[in-house]
Amino acid sequence: MRKYEPTKVALEVLHENEEVLNNQYQTFIKGDYTITINEIDQIGFRLAKVCGHKRVYAVDWNKDEDDIPDLSGLEEWKGTDKYKAFTMLAQEIVCESNTYKKKHSIKEFLLRMNDSQNVLRGQEMYLKLSLVGDKDHPTGAVWTAKYWYYRNLLIYKNMVSLIDSNEDRIFVLYGAAHLHLLLQFLKESNLFDVKVVSDYLC
């Protein structure tokens, strides 16, 4: 990761909590912070410190909106084949990931999580979710469009706001489920020269 020589480190933390995040980061730099197993500490803080960064950036968005259905509302469809297909794939992804992590190094695990086929499976899960419901109540499609796509677009927007010059090299640390959409938005925006983990961890 250090080989990328990032000028900024962007993390999956709510944007409104950036001040709290940086208070933690400053404590970490001073050696007074009790590090956790969270990837924000293990990768984000450590990378930013070794690069000499004075701060890190919070780029997440995650709020309740009046017109976005609660994900728990999908449970009324749990007896349907489409709901079962979604949950089955979700369980498979989690189970396979946990099993792989136990038998491989962190480097191998990160490469697997960022592998293009694995990223596509994550997107497949959300496309299966979008089919849950019926014509009059397309709950899955509404949630996927109004929450999942909307959230990732706002994350992308927050990433764009970090660009101060063509010299910026922004390292982004995010959950694997977000990868397909974030990579799509970043690449198709024509604002970024996108690099992935396998470009540097080899």
What is the DSSP secondary-structure string of 138-195? -HHHHHIIIIIIHHHHHHHHHHHTT--STT--EEEE--GGGHHHHHHHHHHTTS----
| Per-residue model confidence (pLDDT) at position 1 | 63
Q: Evaluate whether 2 touches 199 at the Cβ level (below 8 Å).
A: no
Over 80: is that where the pLDDT of 124 sits? yes
| Per-residue model confidence (pLDDT) at position 17 | 97
d(CA 117, CA 10): 24
Over 80: is that where the pLDDT of 70 sits? no
pTM of the model: 0.93
* Strand ranges for the chain from DSSP E: 8-14, 57-60, 170-173
The string of pLDDT tens digits covering residues 142-195 is 999 999 999 999 999 999 999 999 999 999 999 999 999 999 999 999 999 999
